[in-house]
Chain A
């Protein structure tokens, strides 16, 4: 999918700088090879367009609960499967996925990558509006 040329809304110079994270690819703490998705068994390469921390499958958006706080720290001993739960946007318009661990219920947020499945992303973003009873009740009480 091509990226939209001009970001809408406020100009990008006003954005807050990203919280500092140590990129652990180099010193062996991070995985060195491709990984296989736990959900759809797709072989996923390490390099992702648009992000330095690919942590989910681009096809089904499933992830694995291995990091605790810093991407790549491998400090969590849960190793459960994480499913995409919700979608939100940063103030600068960047889409983020909220993952929830199926084993321990922990939540985490991650940016989408450039090669993520667009249809799955839009389905996830449309999930609150899918159930018409809740959405129409919301609109009626406005």
Chain B
């Protein structure tokens, strides 16, 4: 039994801190994921400033969509405990409705009337 290689049997999962979904750590295309594909919440386990693991372990809520120069979307999370911000690439199987909601939310609540921009 010992000659069965580890990487075929190892099923690495984590439980989402927000919706409780059990998620496999690696997506279908082999990339490592760090947020729940359903509700996009994450957990503050790695320290992005100093590097290495973080002691916080707070839940991280998705707040914004950032666009790279390569037109890839990045998901920006904020820790609810320590207000740390992180950015991570979106996965292919992430909840597209949540992503789109987050992308268009600033336009739903503009701080100034957008009609004024039409006269520019």
Residues of A within 8 A of B (CB): 1-4, 8-9, 19, 85-89, 93-95, 98, 100, 105-109, 112, 118-119, 122, 125-131, 133-135, 138-139, 141-142
Contacts and interface: CB of A to CB of B under 8 A. Distances in A.
Interface of B: 48-49, 63-67, 71-74, 76, 78, 83, 85-87, 96-97, 99-100, 102-114, 116-117, 120
Contact of B64 (A3, A9, A98): A98
A87 B67 CA distance: 10
B106 A138 contact: no
Given A2-B112, A107-B87, A125 B100 contact: no
Contact of B106 (A87, A106, A118): A87
B111 A126 contact: no
Contacts, number: 98
Q: Identify which of B112, B113, B120 gathers the most chain A CB atoms within 10 Å of its CB.
A: B112
Given A8-B109, A107-B86, A129 B117 contact: no
A31 B27 CA distance: 47
B96 A141 contact: yes
A66 B114 CA distance: 33
Contacts of B100: 135, 138-139, 142
Contact of A142 (B63, B71, B96): B96
